[in-house]
Amino acid sequence: MTILVTGGAGYIGSHAVQRLLRDGHRVVSLDNFFRGHARAMGLLGAKFPGKLESVVGDVTNRECVLEAIRTFGVTTVMHFAAHAYVGESVEQPLVYYHNNVTGLVSVLWACDQAGAGGKRVTRFVFSSSCSTYGQPPAGMIPVREDCPQAPVSPYGRTKLIGEQILRDYAESKRMAGTEFACTFLRYFNVCGCDRSGVLGEDHTPETHLIPVVLQAAMGQRPHVGLFGTDYPTPDGTCVRDYVHVEDLVDAHVRAMSTANAADVRAYNVGIGKGYSVRQIVDTVRAVTGREIKVVEQPRRAGDPPEVFNDPTKIKRELGWNPQVTDIREMIASAWKWFEANPRGYGA
Ligand code: UDP
């Protein structure tokens, strides 16, 4: 099977590419290298010779996506390419709507056009987000998939709109009697790195909590800002559900291999435990043995106080069983890569 991975050079996309190559698939990565890393592609290309095609292009360039699908006979798409910073989405909403919403429409247009003359894309896995729920109402945490979706950030809204676009597109295909199955995976907080040590997490700018705290542990930042210490949570800081990137990728593989004809399915991907920002900082201290200075700061716009998952549905229907459930092990896998690559992929 040939799988198109958009955003294949990014943090999650590259881990997906590696897993699919390991499983014996042919993979076409499409990435504009704006935030993705050519070096990650180089490492994977060398590890799996002849199996990976790395196309440099932007998902909003629909002709480029169409050419990639047609040239390589793609039948499955995993659509990771997106901007994914909540704070940045508040400051630059148009950039987010363009990249995340227009980008999705462009990829679907290409799938549609390719089907008219060549191999048909019949499976689509979409990177959605727990941020589509916003702050779930009292009594709905842990969060199930039927929780009302009411995002509180532009980023979350782009993902909810993406789900709606896919529902409409899938319905049009169902009515036309054309096979198209799609799965929305609503990610909780993805973290950790490839445990074989090849791939890592390297964002510029880095804003995600765990890598930020690891950079502070490494002395690359003077301190970690705690964004809000007066939330209605046990220690006043936000609570999130952290899932290891390889377990997240495993959910994609299961979504792809279990999809049937006209399915439109949604699954939350989070292990079902919440950790506060302070607990994460303490765990990084324990894992690294380093001192980390924290500075209390105001709340960050767009952050809900507490979100963690109820993984019942994904476990029951996809047989998903996360292998890394200990937050220390998640952080240790990231620390191992950071220690070996203190300058990230730029080393
Ligand atoms: N956070 C923080 N300091 C930082 C980065 C993040 O206090 O330097 C908090 C952030 O406000 C949120 C949590 O850590 O409550 C997780 O943020 P992250 O950006 O990692 O993921 P998000 O939940 O926004 O997807």
For ligand 1, residues with CB inside 6 Å are: 86, 189, 207-209, 212, 224-227, 238, 240, 277, 300, 303
Q: Are 327 and 272 in contact (CB under 8 A)?
A: no
For CATH 3.40.50.720, list the domain ranges present in the chain.
Answer: 2-190+243-269
Give the mean pLDDT of the chain: 96
Expressed in angstroms and rounded, the spacing between residue 243 Cα and the centre of ligand 1 is 14
Q: Name the closest-CA residue to atom 1, ligand 1.
A: 209
Expressed in angstroms and rounded, the spacing between residue 208 Cα and the centre of ligand 1 is 6
| Residue 294: predicted pLDDT | 98
Q: Are 249 and 322 in contact (CB under 8 A)?
A: no
pLDDT in tens, 111-151: 999 987 777 999 999 999 999 999 899 899 999 999 999 99
Angle, CA of 187, 193 and 199, to the nearest 5° = 115
155 is catalytic: yes
Examine the pLDDT at 43 and tell me if it is beyond 80. Answer: yes
Q: Name the closest-CA residue to atom 15, ligand 1.
A: 238
- The CATH fold assigned to 2-190+243-269 is Rossmann fold (3.40.50)
Active-site position among 85, 96, 155, 231: 155
The arithmetic mean of pLDDT across residues 45-59, rounded, is: 97
CA distances from residue 68 to 37, 65, 71 in whole angstroms, order as listed: 19, 5, 5
The arithmetic mean of pLDDT across residues 149-176, rounded, is: 96
For CATH 3.90.25.10, list the domain ranges present in the chain.
Answer: 209-240+273-309+323-346
185 beta partners: 127, 267
Expressed in angstroms and rounded, the spacing between residue 209 Cα and the centre of ligand 1 is 5
* Residues whose CB falls within 8 Å of the CB of residue 39, separated by 6 or more in sequence, listed in order: 345
Q: How many residues in the chain?
A: 347
Model confidence at 304, pLDDT cuts 50, 70, 90, reads confident
The arithmetic mean of pLDDT across residues 263-283, rounded, is: 98
Examine the pLDDT at 7 and tell me if it is beyond 70. Answer: yes
Residue 250: CB atoms within 10 Å: 20
Mark 191-204 as b/e (b = at least 16 C-beta within 10 Å): bbbbbeebbbbbbe
Positive or negative, the CA dihedral 270, 93, 6, 36 is negative
State phi, psi for 124 to the nearest 5 degrees.
-140, 125
Peptide bond into 151 cis (omega under 30): no
| Residue 347: predicted pLDDT | 58
| Residue 301: predicted pLDDT | 84
Q: Are 267 and 125 in contact (CB under 8 A)?
A: no
The arithmetic mean of pLDDT across residues 102-107, rounded, is: 98
The arithmetic mean of pLDDT across residues 282-289, rounded, is: 98
CATH superfamily, domain at 209-240+273-309+323-346: UDP-galactose 4-epimerase, domain 1 (3.90.25.10)
Which residue blocks in 9-61 are alpha helix, DSSP H? 11-22, 38-47
pLDDT in tens, 185-234: 999 999 999 999 999 999 998 999 999 999 999 999 999 999 999 999 99
pLDDT in tens, 57-66: 999 999 999 9
Expressed in angstroms and rounded, the spacing between residue 292 Cα and the centre of ligand 1 is 16
Q: What percent of the chain has pLDDT over 90?
A: 93
* Residues whose CB falls within 8 Å of the CB of residue 321, separated by 6 or more in sequence, listed in order: 315
Between 27 and 261, residue with greater pLDDT: 27
